[in-house]
Structures are given as C-alpha cells and as structure tokens.
Structure 1
Amino acid sequence: MIELTQIGAQLIFIGAVFFLVGLIQGALIPAVKNARMALSGHLTAVQCAMALAIFGVIWSLVELPLYLEVFVAYGCTVGFILIWLGITIASVTGASKALPIAGAGFSAAETTESMVKIMVRTGSLLSLIACTLLTFGLLHILTQLQ
C-alpha cells in the first residue's frame, strides 16, 4: 500500500517548487543569450520536478537501508538540480562544450565552460547512481504480485 512518508513528502514539495522554477524559466527563455539552451533548462526542470514528485508518491514502496534511502532521495534531488543549474548557466553565458547540440554557435570563457561541464557531468552521474539504487529498492514489488 502506498502511504506518505517524511522523505516522500519532502520529495513532493521539492518537486513542486522545482516545477514552479521550471515554469518561470520557460517564461524567461527569450531573455537569455542562448534560447535553445534555456528551453533545454526549462524542460529539464519540469521533467525532473515531475520525477521527484513521483518518487515522493511511491517512496513508501522503496525498501533500502536508511542510509541508502537518504542517499537516493537527496542524490536524485541534488543530481537533477546540478544538471538543471549547469544548463541554465550555459543558457545565460553561452557555454556550449558540455551540451554541444543545444549550444551550437555559442561559447563562453574557459572557466565557465569547465564549471558547466563539471555540474552537468556530476549531476548526471549522481542522478544515474541514485536512480539505479531506487530501481533496486523497488524490485521487491514485482515478487509481491505473484
């Protein structure tokens, strides 16, 4: 049975706030240096926000040791925010090396390019690890149905 947990409630709240931030960013797309990158940031925020809210709703189904639960919940959150923040900074500064398709035709200072690359790659790795662990924490629900 699905019930609301403290971590689940926090994930739902963070997801709702992140969704709002993504909507605001969507309205600001024309105001940045690279509108194509800003659209990517807007979509990233909205999609990651929905994922966090869904994770919050199903959180009571996750069976992991407490330290892994905390890592998964906040690893996903921090990972998603790092990806979004890197993309958003790239949209404002014109950084393009980390995301060459959305950044085509733009460039920024080498330190900005490096910062964006580190944020996007760290966020991607962190969220990949956390979401993989989340999947393992949900495996038991398949055996409960048999």
Structure 2
Amino acid sequence: MIELTQIGAHLIFIGIAFFLVGLIQGALIPAAKNSRMALSGHLTAVQCAMALAIFGIIWSLVELPYYLEVFAAYGSALGFILIWIGITFASLTGASKALPIAGAGFSANVSAEIMLKVLVGIGSLLSLITCALLVFGLLSLLS
C-alpha cells in the first residue's frame, strides 16, 4: 500500500513548486538571449518537477538505509534543479559549449561556459546516482 511519508511530502512540495517555476519560465521564453535554450530550461523544469512529485507519491515503497534514502530523495531534487539552473543560465548568457544542440549559434565568455559545464555536469551526475539508488530501492517490488 502506498502511504505518504515525510520525505515523500517534501518531494511532492518541491516538485509542485518547481513545476510552477517552470510554467513561469515558459512565459518568459521570449525575453531570453537564446529562446531555444530557454524552452529547454522550461521543459526541464516541468518534466523534472513531475518526476519529483511522482517520486514523492511512491516514496513509501523505497527500501533503502535511511541515509541513502535521504541522499536519494534530496540529491535527486538538487540534481534536477542544478541542471535547470545551468540551462536557464545558458539561456540568459548564451553559453553553449556544454549543450551544443540548444546552444547552436550562441557563445559566451569563458567563465560562463565553465559555470554551465559545472552546473550541468554536477546536476547530471547527481541525478544519475540518485535515480540509480531509487531503482535499487524499488527492487523489492519485484519479489
């Protein structure tokens, strides 16, 4: 049976708040230096927000040691948000080297390009690790 846990409630709240931010960003796409990258940021926010809300709903089914459970929950939220911040930063500055498809035709100074690589790189790695933990925490559903 699925029941709402404290961590699950936090993830649902973070997800819905993040969804709202994504919707607001969608309205502001024309104001960005790179509107294609801004669209990517908008889609990242709403998709990651939905994933976080779903994680929150199913969180009572996750079986991990508590410290890994906390890391997986809040690490996934942080990872998704770092990716979104990086993409949004790129949409405003024109940084594009780490995201060449959405950034095609744009460029920024070296520090902006490095910042984009750090934000997206750390966010992606954190998201990958925490989502893998979530999969392991849900393996008990198969037995």
- For normalisation by structure 2, the TM-score amounts to 1.00
| 2-structure distance, mates of 1:17, 1:97 | 29
Within 5 Å, give how 1:78-117 maps onto structure 2.
78-117=78-117
Q: Deviation of residue 63 (structure 1)?
A: 0.2
Shift of 1:17: 0.2
Runs of 4 or more consecutive aligned structure 1 residues displaced over 6 Å after TM superposition: none
Question: Sequence identity, in percent?
Answer: 79
Q: Report the residue type matching 1:104 in the other structure.
A: A
Count of aligned pairs: 143
Residue 51 (structure 1) aligns with: 51
CA distance in 1, matches of 2:23, 2:98: 24
CA distance in 1, matches of 2:84, 2:32: 15
User: What is the letter of the counterpart of residue 86 of structure 2?
Assistant: G
Following TM superposition, by how much is the alpha carbon of 1:137 offset from its aligned partner in structure 2, in angstroms? 0.1
Deviations along 1:3-35, whole A, 9 cap, x unmatched?
Answer: 000000000000000000000000000001000
Counterpart residue number, 1:29? 29
Cα deviation, residue 97, structure 1: 0.4
Aligned partners of 1:89, 1:124: CA distance in 2, in Å?
16
